[in-house]
Amino acid sequence: MTSPTQTTPTLTAPIILLMSVATGLAVASNYYAQPLLHTISQQFSISNAAAGAIVTTAQLSYAVGLMLLVPLGDMFERRALIVLMNLLAAGGLLISAFATNIVVLIIGTALTGMLSVVAQILVPFAATLAAPHERGKAVGTVMSGLLLGILLARTAAGALADVGSWRTVYWVAAILMVLMSAVLWRVLPRYQSPTAMSYPRLLGSILRMFVEEPLFRARSLLGGLLFAAFSMLWTPLTFLLASPPYEYSNTTIGLFGLAGAAGAYAANRFGRLADRGLGNLATRAGLLLLLGSWGLMAFGQVSVIALLAGILLQDLAIQGVHVTNTSSIYRLRPEARSRLTAGYVTCYFIGGASGSLVSSWLYAHFGWPGVVTAGAVLGAVTLAYGALAPSARIPETASPTARA
């Protein structure tokens, strides 16, 4: 029998569909609270800014998991690791469901956030299983599932909270994670990475790649700036929509997540552009769209149409550039894709946590205009860096071979 370290299993259509759904379900765990912040703040008698700490906690714990847990995908058999992390994330959701105060809810959020990084083990796993000429498409497909998970998490959370309570959201999510674990165990192929490193050396190699790979550094910084912009929109958006003149319900607020569904389509299309060697063009186009989205959202207090259009444009831009980033760095060192993911997405979520923290403060002191102004400035900086920095430019040549 051929060892799994010698032969890479084939990525079939059913497997990539399952990986896409599993990725979306895992990452959704970090976003259920966003449309519920107003409701949670009322139940626990805390301020909106304090409720915003739930989002910041989710993103910071995700960053910790990215750095400490995702590299294990280059060390252990991946199917078993993915299933175990899924089950433990379900445990964190149950702690949140039972929370009697904000401290317990934050503990559950931190545990779930740290373990839901299983999504970032699935993405490089798909890249490993895919044929080289279809790698960008495979990554784009799985990333489409990730984006839909983020967006539909808000929609589902709002609807379930109105049917039951905000706790209902966490109960349902925990059950779905357990069921997904069983399906993943049955369907996913076994795969053991050929890397033979101790855990400390594995973590140290991530820092070494930041030093040795300029493109990795540049694209990781670009990813952090992208997700900072994403969080600067979504964290205060709940407070805007729950306040006059809108005063929307949890369900209606959650439906705004659907406005960004076009980003799932963008993820796939941008992945195809990366496969054709057009990653730099895709980056510039995406960053221009990001900057333009803030111009539309400047009218968000008076026009729900402008707000929806801005959300759609921003998700289209962010997910498109994100897929371009990951496709480009996965070509650098194929044997270290889990570690490349760990370093890149850690920067991504540090940016997201920073965006959440800053936007909560800005909204409390300057309202929606303050958030939009800061977002536009950030968009301009991101465009300038992504378009002009030499180290951010993707070599439009054949993929380099793996290096030891």
Backbone angles phi, psi at 395, to 5 degrees: -65, 120
Per-residue pLDDT, 128: 80
Q: Is the residue at 54 inside a domain? A: yes
Indicate whether 266 pLDDT > 70.
no
3-state secondary structure 287-353: HHHHHHHHHHHCCCCCCHHHHHHHHHHHHHHHHHHHHHHHHHHHCCCHHHHHHHHHHHHHHHHHHHH
Q: How many domains does the chain have?
A: 1
The residue segments making up the domain with residue 168 are: 13-392
Q: Is the residue at 1 inside a domain? A: no
Gap between the Cα atoms of 282 and 268, Å rounded: 12
To 10 degrees, what angle do helices 135-163 and 119-129 make? 150
Q: Is the residue at 404 inside a domain? A: no
Per-residue pLDDT, 404: 33
Q: Is the residue at 401 inside a domain? A: no
Q: Is the residue at 95 inside a domain? A: yes
Is there a contact between 170 and 89 (Cβ–Cβ < 8 Å)?
Answer: no
Q: Is the residue at 3 inside a domain? A: no
Gap between the Cα atoms of 60 and 54, Å rounded: 10
What tens digit of pLDDT does each residue of 174-195 get?
999 999 999 999 999 888 776 6
- The more confident residue out of 112 and 256 is 112
Give the HSE-up count for residue 360: Cα atoms under 13 Å, Cβ half-sphere: 19
Sequence-ordered list of residues with C-beta below 8 angstroms from that of 295, at least 6 positions apart, any chain:
310, 376
Q: Is the residue at 226 inside a domain? A: yes
- Out of 218-232, 314-328, 363-377, least confident range: 314-328
Q: Is the residue at 400 inside a domain? A: no
CATH of the domain at 375: 1.20.1250.20
